[in-house]
Amino acid sequence: MSELTEKAGKLDAVDELAAKRAEFVLDGPEGAVYLDGNSLGALPVGVPGRVADVVARQWGELRIRSWTEEGWWTAPERIGDRIAPLVGAAAGQVVVGDSTSVNVFKALVGAVRLARETGAGRDEILVDATTFPTDGYIAGSAARMTGCTLRPVTPSDVPDALGEHTAAVLLNHVDYRTGRLHDLPSLTAAVHAAGAYAVWDLCHSAGALPVGLDAHGVDLAVGCTYKYLNGGPGSPAYLYVRADLQDRFDSPLPGWNSHAEPFGMRSDYEPAEGAVRGRVGTPDILSMLALEAALEVWDGVTVEAVRAKSLALTDFFLECVGEYVPEGRVECLTPLPHAERGSQVALRCSPTLGSARAGGAPTAGPVMRRLIERGVVGDFRHPDVLRFGFTPLYVGFADVERAARALAEELSEATAERSHRV
Ligand SMILES: Cc1ncc(COP(=O)(O)O)c(C=O)c1O
């Protein structure tokens, strides 16, 4: 047994979240190490039974009665309240529904409208230049619709880019590619000091680390539920609108579900009060109730405990990679300081890295394909990034050691093959 396998065993033995693993289905190739929960979270064991009940009994037998008797109608707010503590929000501010992309649109246009109430000259939207593409596309459209210009800015440069023309700023809490954690408290404060509104995308932080929306005075936020919240493929996203802004939140998608009197069937629109104002049309009940069941795994878990384990997992992965992978074969894109690290490790792996004499390191795509074949599932992001996501509720330290060892073996084998060929 190597020193690191021994260390993994010791860390697993004192892991206070270890028992949570049994609440997930982690079958598949024997002993698979699943490090892709930052893309699609694993299936919680309670979900299939709940979905079966929703389909067979609630829909099949009760049919339309379920809208009231089974709480379908109020599910978006109810499930929003279940997510709220995970993102540091008091109840009544989060509503579930639609996709992240759609909620980015609602939040960003809503933020510009809020800014315009007091400052007509506010005609610029700043967007994270390193953002996940959908946020950038939607911000571009939101800018055209609101007569703003769109300026892509690296998050750390946002304070210098802010000014009296800034209406809203759209930022990612954790960068999807590098795993860099941005400084939400100080960036939000800077946005506010400039008189603008901050919209945060929490896709890669909610369920992995403390967010503190209320504590840091965030204006609006959005996030998906299919990554660290394990809601399932395409599960609905959520929208947070801070309580004191809700009265003024003017949604660009005012559907009948956000009407003050949805069954009044009125031709004039009167927005509902509270988080409900973020709703649009009929909610996707099957996905939404699957998500509600999935959120039960959070019972008895604190986000602080999740964060502590997440950092221990990524630290240990980096230690194992440092020990096993030959020097220079990969470059870590994820910041080493804990304050700047999300719950993933991104390793750049390209032919330009590694010694030319040894044939250079193999490219990221084929390396990840081979890792997946041998049961270590991470993902590949164009053009040369290997992403490994660490979901503290079901990833253990032995998984981490095994993944790093497999990576090292793949890199050495592939490099040896290449040098043989040249
Ligand atoms: C930061 C970020 N925003 C948005 C999305 C996707 O949005 P949607 O849920 O609309 O597909 C992702 C998906 O991975 C993401 O990482």
259 or 2: which leads in pLDDT: 259
What are the CA-CA distances from residue 399 to residues 305, 320, 394 (Å)? 19, 11, 10
Per residue in 28-84, pLDDT (tens digit) is 765 689 999 999 999 999 999 999 999 999 999 999 999 999 999 999 999 999 999
Confidence (pTM): 0.95
CB–CB of 280/253 below 8 Å?
yes
Q: Which of the four pLDDT bands, split at 50, 70 and 90, describes residue 357?
A: very low
Instruction: Yes or no: say if 24 and 394 are a contact pair by the CB < 8 Å rule.
Output: yes
The model's pLDDT over 375-398, given as tens digits with 9 standing for 90+, comes to 999 999 988 999 999 999 999 999
Per-residue pLDDT reduced to its tens digit, 155-198: 999 999 999 999 999 999 999 999 999 999 999 999 999 999 99
Q: Residue 422: which pLDDT band, with cuts at 50, 70 and 90?
A: very low
Q: Supply the pLDDT for residue 355.
A: 44
Binding region for pyridoxal 5'-phosphate: 100-101, 132-135, 201, 204, 226, 256, 282
Q: What is the average pLDDT across 228-233? A: 98
Predicted confidence at residue 157, as pLDDT, reads 98
Cα 101 to ligand 1 centroid, rounded to whole Å: 7
In the structure, which protein residues have their CB atom closer than 6 angstroms to any atom of ligand 1?
99-101, 132, 134-135, 172, 176, 201, 203-204, 224, 237
Q: Mean pLDDT, to the nearest integer, of 71-100?
A: 98
* C-alpha 60 – ligand 1 centre gap (Å): 33
pLDDT band at 412 (very low <50, low <70, confident <90, very high): confident
Q: What is the CATH number of domain 48-298?
A: 3.40.640.10
394 as an active site residue: the answer is: no
224: CA distance to ligand 1 center in Å? 7
Q: What is the percent of the chain with per-residue pLDDT over 70, rounded to a whole number?
A: 94
pLDDT attached to residue 363: 84
Work out the pLDDT band at 351, boundaries 50, 70, 90.
Answer: low
Active-site pick, 226, 238, 380, 390: 226
Residue 299 has pLDDT above 90, yes or no: yes
Q: How far apart are CA 387 and CA 46, in angstroms?
A: 28
- Average pLDDT of the chain is 94
Return d(Cα 273, Cα 277) in angstroms, integer. Answer: 6
Mean pLDDT of 294-309: 97
* 3-30+301-421: CATH superfamily: Aspartate Aminotransferase, domain 1 (3.90.1150.10)
Question: CA 182, CA 120: separation in Å to the nearest integer?
Answer: 29
* Domain locations along the chain: 3-30+301-421, 48-298
Among 47-61, 280-294, 359-373, the least confident range:
359-373
Residue for token digits 């997440």?
310
pLDDT at 419 over 50: no
Residue 123 has pLDDT above 90, yes or no: yes
pLDDT band at 360 (very low <50, low <70, confident <90, very high): low
Q: Indicate if the pLDDT at residue 9 is higher than 80.
A: yes
Among the listed ranges 76-80, 131-135, 354-358, which one has the minimum average pLDDT value? 354-358
Per the annotation, where are the binding residues?
Answer: 100-101, 132-135, 201, 204, 226, 256, 282
d(CA 205, CA 391): 11
Q: What percent of the chain has pLDDT over 90?
A: 89
